[in-house]
């Protein structure tokens, strides 16, 4: 049966990715990211309403001011699962005029209240913590290369890590384009995406390794070998990504405002991870393999 040539169109898949990554990098340097209060710091406001209110009511009151992504917690001894008179709001730092407008809006849309506390706070995630997270990510990539090189071949390891970097750049590009808020949950989303993507890539690489034993005996074409390996694992890859995407879609639509950006990052990352495992990692391995074999060819002396 004739199948679509995935491995032989590696340049096309690389171009598709570059059409997202390169503009994304330009957007990151020019427009930057919309960092949340976990990164930038902000203001904590403790309010005591005359009547019990819900988180949804307070969030709806903040929505006209573009602050519905603020962290809202019910507090106080009388707090229960659904409503409370005491509410703590953690939001971005505001100018005095903007703060008065927001507070007046809350009073008119939610109810009367007393301000119990109002203070500015620093960033929860500092520069040192971000640097440590990046260092840990780089170390994990090096360990992946070493492990895969030991179990498979160094070219598999490098290809797998480049596919992971591809996925992270895609997510960062999308968040820079859309200016969705980046907070502490975004870091957790990136680590989840890395774990998912490397697992899917290793499954395909393992099948390529198994088929390589027959390949050398039969003298088959390397592109045909990779295509066969990808199609042998394709159903498993699609079932896996559809399962996690359905769950993440449910989290995105029904999980509430505070989980939307986290779920959105997962949706983009899972889709990119599935794409990179099938269309990026394997063609990269072919590219590295062909180049290393050319270097190892004996020189012909005339």
Q: What is the pLDDT of residues 4-43, one digit of tens each?
A: 889 889 999 999 999 999 999 999 999 988 887 777 778 8
Domain shared by 89 and 143, yes or no: no
pLDDT at 126: 63
Rounded to the nearest 10°, the torsion over CA 195, 198, 202, 204 is 120
User: Does a structural domain hold residue 14?
Assistant: yes
Taking a C-beta distance cutoff of 8 angstroms, is the pair 55, 68 a contact? no
Domain boundary, last residue among 69, 87, 121: 121
Q: Is 213 exposed, middle or buried (0-12, 13-18, 19+ CB in 10 A)?
A: exposed
Mean pLDDT of 199-205: 90
**Is residue 66 situated within a structural domain?**
yes
Q: Identify whether residues 166 and 283 lie together within a single domain.
A: yes
**Domain annotation covers residue 2:** no
CATH of residue 67's domain is 3.30.70.3400
CA distance 191 to 171: 12
Q: Is residue 200 part of a domain?
A: yes
Report the number of distinct structural domains present in the chain: 2
Q: Give the least confident one: 56-65, 84-93, 268-277.
A: 84-93
- Indicate whether 158 and 80 sit together in one domain: no
74 falls within a domain:
yes
Cα-Cα end-to-end distance for the chain: 45
The burial class, CB within 10 Å (0-12 / 13-18 / 19+), for 223 is middle
Burial 60-82 (b: 16+ CB within 10 A, else e): ebbeeeebbbbebebeeeeeeee
**Same structural domain, 193 and 150:** yes
For residue 12, report the phi and psi dihedrals to the nearest 5 degrees: -65, -45
pTM for this entry: 0.80
The domain boundary residue, chosen from 89, 121, 153: 121
Contact between residue 176 and residue 24 where contact means Cβ atoms under 8 Å apart: yes
Say yes or no: 172 and 80 in one domain: no
For residue 130, pLDDT beyond 80 = no
**Does 229 share its domain with 173?**
yes
Residue 78 has pLDDT above 60, yes or no: no
**Mean pLDDT, range 180-192, rounded to an integer:** 86
> Are residue 134 and residue 240 in the same domain, yes or no?
yes
Which 8-state DSSP code applies to residue 70?
Answer: S
Residue 85 falls inside a structural domain: yes
DSSP string, 75-134: ESTT--SS-EEEEEEEE----HHHHHHHHHHHHHHT--EEEEEEEEE--SS-HHHHHHHH
Final residue of a domain: which of 103, 121, 139? 121
Asked whether 198 and 147 are in contact (CB, 8 A), the reply is no
User: Do 99 and 70 meet the contact criterion of CB atoms below 8 Å apart?
Assistant: no
In this prediction, residue 302 carries a pLDDT of: 37
Residues 289, 197 share a domain: yes
Residue 299's pLDDT band (boundaries 50, 70, 90)? very low
pLDDT value, residue 282: 92
What are the contacts of 214-220 at 24+ separation with CB within 8 A? Answer: none
Residues 183, 86: one domain?
no
Range of the domain at 19: 7-35+126-294
Question: Is 278 a domain residue?
Answer: yes
* Whether residue 55 is found in the same domain as residue 20: no
Tell whether 102 and 149 lie within a shared domain. Answer: no
pLDDT over threshold 90, residue 91: no
Q: Under the phi-then-psi rule, with left for phi > 0, alpha for psi from -120 to 50, and beta for the rest, what region is 51? A: beta
Judge whether 301 lies within some domain: no
CATH code of the domain in which 15 resides? 1.20.1640.10
Which pLDDT belongs to residue 182?
A: 86
Q: How far apart are the C-alpha atoms of 75 and 201, rounded to whole Å?
A: 45
* Window from 157-171, 204-218, 230-244 with minimum mean pLDDT: 204-218
> What number of other Cβ atoms are within 10 A of residue 48's Cβ?
16
Structure tokens at 119: 């203070």
Same domain, 48 and 76: yes
């Amino acid at each position: 049966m004739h199948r679509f040539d995935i491995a032989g169109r590696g340049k096309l898949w690389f171009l598709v990715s570059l059409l997202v990554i390169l503009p994304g990098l330009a957007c990151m340097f020019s427009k930057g990211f919309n960092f949340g209060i976990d990164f930038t710091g902000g203001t904590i406001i403790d309010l005591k309403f005359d009547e019990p209110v819900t988180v949804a009511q307070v969030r709806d009151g903040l929505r006209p001011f573009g602050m519905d992504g603020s962290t809202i917690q019910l507090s106080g001894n009388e707090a229960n699962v659904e409503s409370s008179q005491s509410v703590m709001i953690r939001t971005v730092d505001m100018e005095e005029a903007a703060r008065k407008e927001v507070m007046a809006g809350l009073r008119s849309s939610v109810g009367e209240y007393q301000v119990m506390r109002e203070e500015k706070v620093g960033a929860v995630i500092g520069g040192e913590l971000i640097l440590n997270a990046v260092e840990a990510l780089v170390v994990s990539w090096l360990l992946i290369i070493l492990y895969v090189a030991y179990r498979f071949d160094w070219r598999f390891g490098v290809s797998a890590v480049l596919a992971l970097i591809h996925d992270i750049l895609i997510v960062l590009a999308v968040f820079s384009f859309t200016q969705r808020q980046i907070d502490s949950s975004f870091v957790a989303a990136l680590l989840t995406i890395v774990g998912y993507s490397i697992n899917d890539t290793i499954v395909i690489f393992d099948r390529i390794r198994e088929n390589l034993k027959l390949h050398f005996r039969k003298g088959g074409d390397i592109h045909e070998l990779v295509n066969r390996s990808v199609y042998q694992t394709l159903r498993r890859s699609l079932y896996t990504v559809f399962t996690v995407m359905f769950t993440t879609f449910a989290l995105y639509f029904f999980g509430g405002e505070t989980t939307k950006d986290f779920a959105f990052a997962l949706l983009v990352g899972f889709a990119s991870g599935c794409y990179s495992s099938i269309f990026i990692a394997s063609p990269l391995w072919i590219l590295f393999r062909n180049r290393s074999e050319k270097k190892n060819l004996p020189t012909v002396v005339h």
